Amino acid sequence: MTSVYAQRRARLAAQLGAGGIAIIPTAPERQRNRDTGYLYRHDSYFYYLTGFAEPNACLVLAADGTSVLFCQPKDLEREIWDGIRLGPEAAVATLGVSQAFSSAEIDTRLPRLLENRGRLWYPFATHEGLAVRVEGWLGQVRARVRFGALCPAEQGDLCTLLDEMRLVKDAHEQDIMRRAAAISAQAHIRAMQRSARMLRAGQEVREYHLDAELLHEFRQQGSQYVAYGSIVAAGANACVLHYQADKAPVHAGELVLIDAGCELDGYASDITRTFPADGRFTGPQRALYELVLDSQKAAVAATRAGARFNDPHDATVAVLAQGMLDLGLLDRKVYGNAQDVIEQRAFFQFYMHRTGHWLGMDVHDCGSYVEPSELGQSHERKDPLSGETITNRPSRILRPGMCTTIEPGIYVRPAAGVPEQFHNIGIRIEDDAIVTETGCELITRGVPVEPDEIEALMRD
């Protein structure tokens, strides 16, 4: 049976054009200090085409479908220290590539592989130093033109092909993403319950206690990494969008915002929940929470095949704008109605990010947000807040299998005219959605969003 990776290589090869050849390296190892490295994580493009997670590897794929892998050679001494290596001999059968060689041979073998090819593809601006290495390999091809060798005359950005492929998740990918999402959902529940339990017992809770629960559940269920640095933000820290889990105390009566997701088998999950530290929302907290939840429901309803990527954002903003007026966050005497709030972008004071992003192997996954078939259609508009001229292009039309987050929020920093009861409240609700023909599948609802359900699970 052909592996999903071989199938993807075949699909990519068919797009390289006659005489095309592609180079796809994995990620480099990075030194943390002295002889200690950062935890290694493969390159997503490389893994998408190989399923191979070892460092020091590079795939070369030709338009006729033949593939050559360069990988770490077997080396007893290094394997004693660093772990077992697949090695080139086993790689052919295990990974289904046509040929495999030691990565030590890449500089001698690659120029020969590039000879007489019309176009060379590699990912532009993603691997530091790769363009320079490519120049070196092509230089060696040029050195042989006297002997009749032809040097590729064209270069193409392989990201343009791979990004489109990765944007629509196949069944294999969707299955892993559902599992990653389920683990992350359980981790959020674990953190919520620990917060309430410790506060009820009169114990001091800090953000890192809740972070520990997330990590425990991620690893307990076999996830290899966090998909990004977990945000565990108590009280006013929730208004700092990129706050990282730290040591601040978690107080009863405050909200906690957790934005955390695991990476499982190369795929990210990305969940945010905001909950009362002791398990009971106060009135003002619940009012703001329900507004964000209503805006998320509107965004979910706007997420389906045929809709635009921007539609869920526009649906969110419409609900938030009205709610900001109704709750007195924005002054009706200044903004008569929700349309004014939207046109003047007044909501930006409390909602300053987009409602979603592609999700996949990378948490902010690859893929154009502009509809490729409508690239030429653009119009300029002036931003009402900054005065900047912005070029808008038609937003991407959603297709089944695309995966996006849906993550509205509201962040109330103290300011003149803003009701004090809402000061320092930060709320975001984030779920991961797979687009379907008729709507979307929310794969992160293993952890609830309804305030009553959150209170209930924190009582148990």
The interface mask with Mn ion, positions 351-390, x = CB under 5 A, is: ----------------------------------------
Task: Select which of 273, 304, 313, 428 is catalytic.
Answer: 428
In the list 115, 211, 259, 311, the residue contacting Mn ion (rule: CB under 5 A) is: 259
Minimum distance, C-beta of residue 259 to Mn ion, in the bound complex (Å):
4
Supply the minimum distance, in Å, between the C-beta of residue 183 and ligand GLY: 16
- Letters for 416-455 (x = contact with ligand GLY by CB under 6 A, - = none) are --------------x-------------------------
Active site residue 379: no
Q: Distance between CA atoms of 405 and 424, rounded to whole angstroms?
A: 25
Q: CB count, 10 Å around CB of 422?
A: 19
Quick check: 113 and 106 in contact, CB under 8 A?
Answer: no
Of residues 265 through 304, those in contact with ligand GLY by CB under 6 A are: 270
Report which DSSP code applies to 103.
G
Of the pair 50, 272, the CB lying nearest Mn ion is at 272
- Out of 54, 259, 265, 362, point to the residue binding ligand GLY (CB under 6 A): 259
- Minimum CB distance to ligand GLY, residue 353 (Å): 8
Ranked by CB distance to ligand GLY, the top (closest) residue is: 259
DSSP label at residue 74: P
Q: Which residues contact 269 (CB under 8 A, 6 or more apart)?
A: 177, 180, 181, 183, 184, 227, 261, 262, 263, 359, 432, 443, 444
Active site residue 188: no
Rounded to the nearest 10 degrees, how much is the dihedral formed by the CA atoms of 134, 136, 141, 144? 180
405 binds Mn ion (CB under 5 A): yes
Of these, 115, 270, 278, 362, which contacts Mn ion (CB under 5 A)? 270
For residues 451 and 103, give the distance between their C-alpha atoms in angstroms, rounded to a whole number: 54
Residue 189: both structure tokens together: 């529940």
Residue 423 is a catalytic residue: no
Stretch that binds Mn ion, among 133-141, 218-226, 258-266, 412-420 (CB under 5 A): 258-266
DSSP 375-417: TT--EEEE-TTT--EEEE-PBPBP-TTBEEEE--EEE----TT
Smallest distance from ligand GLY to CB 245, Å: 12
The Cα-based distances of 293 to 162, 170, 296, 326, 449 in angstroms read 35, 30, 5, 15, 8
Catalytic site includes residue 265? no
Q: Which of 211, 259, 265, 431 is catalytic?
A: 259
- Rg (C-alpha) for the chain, rounded Å, is 25
Give which of 396, 405, 398 is closest to 439, Cα–Cα.
398
Looking up tokens 């893929």 gives: 367
Question: What is the number of other CB atoms lying within 10 angstroms of the CB of residue 34?
Answer: 6
Residue 228's binding partner among Mn ion, ligand GLY, none (Cβ under 5 to 8 angstroms by kind) is: ligand GLY
Q: Is 340 a catalytic residue?
A: no
For the question of residue 453 being annotated catalytic, the response is: no
263 binds ligand GLY (CB under 6 A): no
Catalytic residue among 54, 407, 431, 455: 407
Catalytic status, residue 407: yes
Which residue spans within 7-113 are E strands per DSSP?
20-25, 31-33, 36-37, 58-62, 67-71, 99-102
Q: How many helices (H) and strands (E) does the chain have?
A: 13, 21
**Closer to ligand GLY at the Cβ: 98 or 224?**
224
35 catalytic? Reply is yes
357 is catalytic: yes
Tell me: does residue 228 bind ligand GLY (CB under 6 A).
Answer: yes
Q: Which of these segments, 156-164, 272-280, 292-300, 376-384, binds Mn ion (CB under 5 A)?
A: 272-280
Residues that bind Mn ion (CB under 5 A): 259, 270, 272, 405, 430
Residues that bind ligand GLY (CB under 6 A): 228, 259, 270, 357, 363, 407, 430
Catalytic residues: 35, 242, 259, 270, 353, 357, 364, 407, 411, 428, 430
